Structure 1
Amino acid sequence: MKILRTIHADDLEDIATGGAILGTGGGGDPYVGKLMAQQAIRKHGPVKLVDVAELPDDALVVPVCMMGAPTVMTEKLPQGDELMNAFRQLEQLLGRKIDAVLCGEAGGVNSTTPFVVAAASGLPLVDGDGMGRAYPELQMVTFTLHGVSATPMVLCDDKGNSLVLDTVSNAWTERLARAATVEMGGSALLAFYSMSGAVAKKAVVRGTLSLCAELGRALRDTRHAHGDPVDAIVGMLGAKVIFHGRAKDIDRRTVGGFARGTARFDGVDEWKGHSFKLDFQNEFLMAERDGKILVTTPDLITLLEAESGNPVTADALRYGLRLKALAFPSNPQWLTPEGIALVGPRYFGYDVDYTPFAA
């Protein structure tokens, strides 16, 4: 199998940063996932990143991820072996060896957690994911759009508990897994959505891990060259800066296994005198400027520190931070009626139809 590139521990710095940019404010703290992945690679060796097109059609591919409220994940760190426990238990349930690991979402902690399993198992990691960003609920993956079942699923926690789910739909998987995650202390590690190589070639959002690495490297190189890091990211993503301001009010609470809330900003410099509002449920879902809706899910909204260009997650938002808000179009797989029904603004309770964002 042709290897796109070999990922070493030092590469995780850029991948974690890029994952936080694509994570649209959610997906958990990239620092936590980076440390877990680096530790695994230093212990077991580097990870082989492969194109999904290289997989045999009959290969067995399994995504892994961390589930829960990002605010909880930063305070309740995994012990380190929960992901492998979930992975191996699912392998036993399926009755055959798994051939490749896949990333559930390209955001925050979950852009790096698959490296833990790939390193420990010695299996290749597919360069792609199931979202092209991060979303708050388990059924919100392109795998669902291609008829892949989330179950059988194995959830593990930091106490040694494990749970197997077999559900009638991916929406029911989310409901039951979310309830279990709350009981497990607000976060859990899981393996799910097993699929063949043939299905993965259709369902995976391709190239997202490479993009994460390129975004992180561009940010680092631009800062080193004393350029504008925000402009560098804007250019790479075909994004648009939709606001520049300071955080003035953050209403954030953990409800039902999610970090929900609203953040408000006052404009500075070219946006002085203007206001900006973000609604989030783990991820940034809707942006308003001066009371007018600019962007909604599934298009991407991300916050970068105005000077450094570092991504800021919803749980890291603090009063007074000077930030630039970027928006850019979603992966085309989400722009079907089925995709909009699954992750569009009305699903989250916003009384507005989705209008594609034009960068």
Structure 2
Amino acid sequence: MTTRYVGAATTITADDVTALYEGAKFYSPAVAPEKTTLQSWTADLLERNGPVTLVRPDSIAPETRCAAICVIGSGAALADLPPSGDEFALAVRELERLTRRRFEAVYPLAAATVSALAPLAAASQLDVPLIDADGMGRTFALIHHTAMHLAGLSPTPLVIRGATGENVAITVPDAARADTLLRSNVDVVGGWAALAAYPTTAGELRRAALTGTVSRLVNVGRLLLESGDPDVLVARLAAVTGCRRIGRGRIVELEHLSRPTDVTIPAHPSTVVVDELGGQGRQLRLELRSEVVAVFADGALAAAAPDLICLVDVLHGELSSLDSLEPGDLVDVLVMPADAVWYSPEGLAMVGPASHGIPLTHPRRR
């Protein structure tokens, strides 16, 4: 079957939601999400309200007011306390009240995981366009780990709204402090919340955001849904995302670690050891936090954050989530480059290997 790409499309329909979500999981493959109620709810919204207009920042008036939307907090909490349905739209409305400005478009803070669905749902409810851009191009741990922050935009004022119906507004001059305050309040409102942040204009997003990241999710998601052959899947993913295969091998060891990590970054340190089959017969060691943050090949650093590193289950021809791995699994280890901004000195200082306790020079900077 020929893959139908949406790169130049101007709408997202209910029929696109499944592909969007599959692509969103590719850009954050840490934990296997259940079939989320947010996915079916978003599809139902678009079925009732019609397609959502998808626009690039440079195709709308530069003064258009925009807000970033995200799910913040625990996925387990989201499953235990599902959204009532209006949290994201009401978070935007509260941010409008604070800023005394009407928002005429929304965009994802991170075009990955369920946080790629939330702005689509909000756009449908608010009857505004969804901007084909985001702040990360994948997911990072903290809300100031964004291209907008590197470009000088502030995440605040921001608003979170919990499933309990409570709003919390945060306005602080320091972005890292905003994240600290945000996470403590998310726990209070139920463990997860709808976030509306980074109030700005389309003109600012033209220079500060990462464009094309929403339509990219649908493109990648369609590949993942159509292909069951691992070699075909990897080849197609390489053509669309620029990823490459580091090696194919069998998992021989899973190790949970107790070494110290930066307590400001949510993490679950562990190691996966893969014995390469064929090729150079190397031993690949994957260092895990809340994602795969580094791959060592026979002790040499082969890939590291902000690279997106993921595993493909060779038997089933599909992505492997980190919480599903077992000794004996045959996997392809893939690495995909992040957006160029993350390889700048400022970007690497924020999300590079050293930020995960690996004080080595990134392979792309050697």
Relative to the length of structure 1, the TM-score reads 0.88
Alignment partner, residue 270 of structure 1:
278
Q: Distance in 2 between matches of 1:7 and 1:30?
A: 23
Q: What percent of counterpart residues are identical?
A: 26
Aligned to 1:237: 241
1:160 counterpart letter in structure 2: G
The whole-number CA distance in structure 1 between the counterparts of 2:197 and 2:343 is: 24
**Shift, 1:326, TM fit:** 0.6
Count of aligned pairs: 353
CA contact (8 A) 1:20 1:313 kept: no
Q: 1:74 to 1:319 in 2, by over 3 A?
A: farther
- C-alpha spacing 1:300/1:123, structure 2 compared with 1 (3 Å): same
**What is the aligned partner in structure 2 of residue 293 from structure 1?**
301
Task: Render the CA deviation track for 1:273-307: whole Å, top value 9, x for unaligned.
Answer: 64333333433222223333211111221222224
Deviations along 1:51-97, whole A, 9 cap, x unmatched?
11112111101110011244544454333222122111111111121
Contact 2:137 2:213 in 1 (8 A): yes
Aligned partner of 1:341 in structure 2 is: 349
Please say which of residues 99-108 and 175-184 is displaced more in the overlay.
175-184
Q: How far is 1:132 from its partner? A: 1.1
Q: 1:355 to 1:289 in 2, by over 3 A?
A: closer
Partner AA of 2:140 in structure 1:
Y
Q: Distance in 1 between matches of 2:328 and 2:96?
A: 48
Q: 1:16 aligns to what SS in structure 2?
A: helix
What is the alpha-carbon distance in structure 1 between the residues aligned to residue 34 and residue 63 of structure 2? 33
Describe the superposition over 1:165-202 as per-residue Cα deviations: whole angstroms up to 9, x where unpaired. 01121111111112222333432221000111110111
Indicate which of 85, 90, 110 corresponds to 1:85: 90
The reply to whether residue 216 of structure 1 matches residue 221 of structure 2 is yes
Q: CA RMSD in A?
A: 2.8
SS in 1 for 2:198: coil
**What residue number does 2:30 align with?**
25
Alpha-carbon separation, structure 1, partners of 2:78 and 2:214: 22
- Contact 1:30–1:109 (CA under 8 A) maintained in structure 2: no
**Mean Cα displacement is larger for which, 239-248 or 141-150?**
239-248
Paired amino acid for 2:312: L
SS at the partner of 2:107? strand
Query: For residues 290 and 326 of structure 1, what CA distance do their matches in structure 2 show?
Result: 17
Alignment of 1:304 onto 2:308 = no
SS of the residue corresponding to residue 285 of structure 1 reads strand
CA distance in 1, matches of 2:280, 2:35: 33
Q: Which residue of 2 aligns with 1:163?
A: 168
CA change 1:215–1:31 in 2 (3 A) is same
Structure 1 position 322 matched with structure 2 position 330: yes
Given that 2:56 and 2:131 are in contact with CA atoms closer than 8 Å, whether structure 1 keeps it comes out as yes
TM-score where L is the length of structure 2? 0.86
Q: 1:331 Cα shift?
A: 0.8
Are positions 1:46 and 2:51 aligned together? yes
Whole-Å separation in 1 of the counterparts to 2:359 and 2:302: 14
1:97 matched residue in structure 2 = 102
CA contact (8 A) 2:276 2:283 kept: no
Matches of 1:308 and 1:275, distance apart in 2: 23
User: Unaligned 5+ residue runs, structure 2?
Assistant: 1-7
Q: How far did 1:104 drift?
A: 0.8
Rounded to whole Å, the distance in 2 between the matches of 1:70 and 1:262 is: 20
Report the CA distance shift for 1:93/1:316 in structure 2 as closer, same or farther (over 3 A).
farther
